[in-house]
Structure 1
Amino acid sequence: MGGPNGAPAPDGAPALDDTPAPDGIGGEQADEGGGAADEGGGAVRSAVRAPEIAYHPARRSVARRGPADPVKVLMHRHRDLCERAVDPLEIAAGLEAHGLTDRTAARYRHRDVFSLAEELYARVPGTSRPVPRAPAPDPDPGKEATGWALPALLPGAACLATAGALRVTEGVLGGEARFAVTAVGALLVVLGLRLALRSGPLRAPEAVGGVTLYVCWLLGYTVYGDDLLTQVISGGPDGRWTAAPAPLLGLALALAPAAWCARLFSVHARRRLAGSHGLSDFGAGVRPLLYGVVALFLCALTALLFLAALGHPNSLGHPGASGQPGALGHPGVDGAGLVAPAALGALLFLARLLAVHGFPEPAATGLAAACAVEVAAPFLVLAGRLPGLGLVARPVDALYAAAGPGGVPILACGVAAFGLLVHASVTLTRASAHATA
């Protein structure tokens, strides 16, 4: 017999006809097992063509399948996040925290991270999502605000009551009795501060060791630091340090505006997050909000520091200590003396705002840096008295000559507060900083 195209076939091999079979014949023969094949070579043609015809449907199915679903890969990668989320915004915040941007979302066929999060939220069944129920009536905003506003007023009220008691009993009670009144007032202030920070807008979910020590040192230096540095530079310390209670009173009263400003920032940032269409859009809207809230708090803090100085003359600013009118036209109230406690208040507010939104480490770093500068200032002056080390005291002497004893806390707290503000303008403008707890 002849092979295909007339070529001779090998010995013992059947001849193969390469003429195409009519449509459907080869498939039917393959399905029926060759039962309808003709005699003498039809069965051979059916057996040879069956594998070839069976290959074509598989090839057509591969071409029909198309590319893999890219969202499905992301869905499996972040399944835990999607299952725990209670709304799409939480998924968007988690994706943004893992480095996903709006440009990256385009690779998953979405215009931004928010629309990608909505698809993930719809496709992944959640394990902790609330069961649908009838909408509950909205809580009374007044009652909700009362729950955190009253504790925020306690430290200022306790500090104000202690200062009033000391003023009334001046010249009546002895030194031990006045010390007892001061100790009781300080205890009440600490308890009120602890209660205010455990609930409400100033409650931080995480804490870093050493923060309490840093805050205590900064507040203590605000009260006694100016007189301590003055005595050290003049050759001392020589005796008891004169306390300046006005800054502490103003800072305690400013806790309520701090809580209100933190609440304002959190609520408006959450609303912008719900209405944003991209991470860049959200960041551009939250950054001015952050600056506005910080400026609003500084205005309230400055006003409270001035009012506290009116009740405690000669406690803010050395120019007023001589009895002459200070820069603000009132004896004992100097404009430069308000800058140091205002810088400390801004530092404490920004540190707490960062801790509230999940960034306690930068907050602790800023507080520690301010403490380091204030601790180093008197020690550098003392070290400068040693032979050959006079050079180390010159920066502190120059700062004291230029800005007075308040120059050290202004430099320490001001630079640290500015650093935290720059850090907050980057971290608090991310969606992950406002995810639902």
Structure 2
Amino acid sequence: MHRHRDLCERAVDPLEIAAGLEAHGVTDRTAARLRHRDVFSLAEEMYARTARDAEAVPSAETPGSPSPRGSRAAASWTALALVPGALGAAVVAGLRLTDGQPRLAVAVSGVLAVAVGLYLALRSGPLSSRHRTTGTARAWTCWLLAYALAGDGLLDAARDGGPHGSWPLATAPVLALLLAPAPAAWCAHLFAARARRRLSASRGLEEFAASVRPLLIGAFGLYLAALFGLLALCGTVLDQPPGYAGAGTLGALLLLARLLTARGFTRVPGRVLAGAGAVEALALVTILAARLPGCSSLAGPVDTLAAAAGPGALPALACGAGALVLLVQAARTLTRASAHAPPDEAS
């Protein structure tokens, strides 16, 4: 109790203490040494034994309840989440209305503007990582988005002995991905708000995990529905293939990676993003390296896959496998009470 005195004095119920203890590495085995059946039982005693000044105890507001300050904050990060999509739409329109040197200028300035827009969109709100994202993870994320834009066309051109000049760009799927931060932020917000409500209502850590797992799956499914709707809309408007498989799995991968990173779980998302990006990069390298004397067999696996299911099968497999790994990781980590504790207790 001396070691966790501040945690006990700030807590408004025993489960907040249990979440803080779990975040500090206290397990049921530790609680057993202190003659308690589990961490929650230990937290109940610590909560009961903590002396509190009635005026110092914070009021137990209903998590997720609307307030003027919360509404302003939600409006702020919602507006920022719409910026990448608006900039992406402007860039696509500019590319279709220009040609030659002006088109190149629009493309370069558009890439920079979209990068700034994504930075602003992810700087605050439910998807904010509080500066936990590493430079390596950012670099692989940029590569994955670049491959979604140009990778399939480049792979097809390389298989035909090119590239000979330019190749087609998949602007519709990328525009849908740029529009996706807004529904992603709201799905993350709904998940966090509902989880905080369950944190107040649950009477044990296992009960909390069991009640939060369906919330996670529901929020993830809601985001996928919104993403596939955006892919269909952009494909129809731009008269391009929507890229459901490749862009859909990439969007799922990026959302799960951001949910985990925003709550401090950075190692697995970083490795999965790097793995998916490396697979895509290796596929292009093997196709080009197969032109060297005696290396024609290197292109066999990628060429067979692209011939059977199209060039979009490669990013679909790479990002889909990564998204599946992160979904399992999220089901294990984001259902812990400590993942939804206040930042000062979970740090």
TM-score, structure 2 length as denominator?
A: 0.87
What amino acid is the match of 1:186? V
Tell me, in whole angstroms, the C-alpha distance in 1 between the residues paired with 2:156 and 2:224: 28
Instruction: Tell me the residue number matched to 2:117.
Output: 192
Correspondent of 1:278 among 191, 204, 207: 204
Q: Percent identity?
A: 54
Unaligned regions of 5+ residues in structure 2, if any? none
Mapping for residues 383-422 of structure 1, pairs under 5 Å: 383-422=289-328
Instruction: Tell me the residue number matched to 2:342.
Output: 436
Cα offset for 1:344?
0.4
Correspondent of 2:87 among 146, 154, 158: 158
What amino acid is the match of 1:215? T
Cα offset for 1:268?
0.9
Higher RCO (C-alpha 8 Å, min separation 6)? 2
What amino acid is the match of 1:402? A
Q: 1:86 to 1:183 in 2, by over 3 A?
A: farther
Cα offset for 1:264?
0.8
Instruction: Tell me the residue number matched to 1:291.
Output: 217
Cα offset for 1:125?
6.3
Q: CA RMSD in A?
A: 2.8
Q: 1:178 to 1:238 in 2, by over 3 A?
A: closer
Correspondent of 2:152 among 209, 226, 237: 226
> Could you say which structure has the larger radius of gyration?
1
Instruction: Tell me the residue number matched to 1:426.
Output: 332
Correspondent of 1:343 among 249, 268, 279: 249
More moved, 200-209 vs 233-242: 233-242
SS at match of 1:199: coil
1:95 aligns with 2:21: yes
What amino acid is the match of 1:269? A
Cα shift readout 1:136-161 (whole Å, capped 9, x = no counterpart): 99623543421211111111111112
User: Is contact 1:112–1:277 with CA below 8 Å preserved after alignment?
Assistant: no
Q: 1:102 to 1:131 in 2, by over 3 A?
A: same
More moved, 358-367 vs 129-138: 129-138
Cα offset for 1:238?
2.4
1:357 aligns with 2:263: yes
Q: 1:280 to 1:304 in 2, by over 3 A?
A: same
Tell me, in whole angstroms, the C-alpha distance in 1 between the residues paired with 2:188 and 2:316: 24
Cα shift readout 1:378-434 (whole Å, capped 9, x = no counterpart): 111233334443333221112112211101101111111111111111111111111
The structure where helix makes up a greater share of residues is: 2
Tell me, in whole angstroms, the C-alpha distance in 1 between the residues paired with 2:18 and 2:229: 40
Mapping for residues 47-126 of structure 1, pairs under 5 Å: 75-76=1-2, 78-79=4-5, 82=8, 88-101=14-27, 105=31, 108=34, 110=36, 112-124=38-50
User: Is contact 1:265–1:290 with CA below 8 Å preserved after alignment?
Assistant: yes
Tell me, in whole angstroms, the C-alpha distance in 2 between the residues paired with 1:426 and 1:268: 17
Tell me, in whole angstroms, the C-alpha distance in 1 between the residues paired with 2:244 and 2:294: 37
User: Is contact 2:14–2:40 with CA below 8 Å preserved after alignment?
Assistant: yes
More moved, 221-230 vs 101-110: 101-110
Cα offset for 1:203?
0.6
Unaligned regions of 5+ residues in structure 1, if any? 1-74, 317-332
Cα shift readout 1:288-336 (whole Å, capped 9, x = no counterpart): 11111111111100000111111222x32xxxxxxxxxxxxxxxx5xxx
Correspondent of 1:204 among 115, 118, 129: 129
Tell me, in whole angstroms, the C-alpha distance in 2 between the residues paired with 1:135 and 1:400: 57
Tell me, in whole angstroms, the C-alpha distance in 2 between the residues paired with 1:429 and 1:112: 17
Tell me, in whole angstroms, the C-alpha distance in 2 between the residues paired with 1:202 and 1:367: 17
Number of residue-to-residue matches in the alignment: 338
Cα shift readout 1:77-126 (whole Å, capped 9, x = no counterpart): 54565467676444312322355455764664556533432432454569
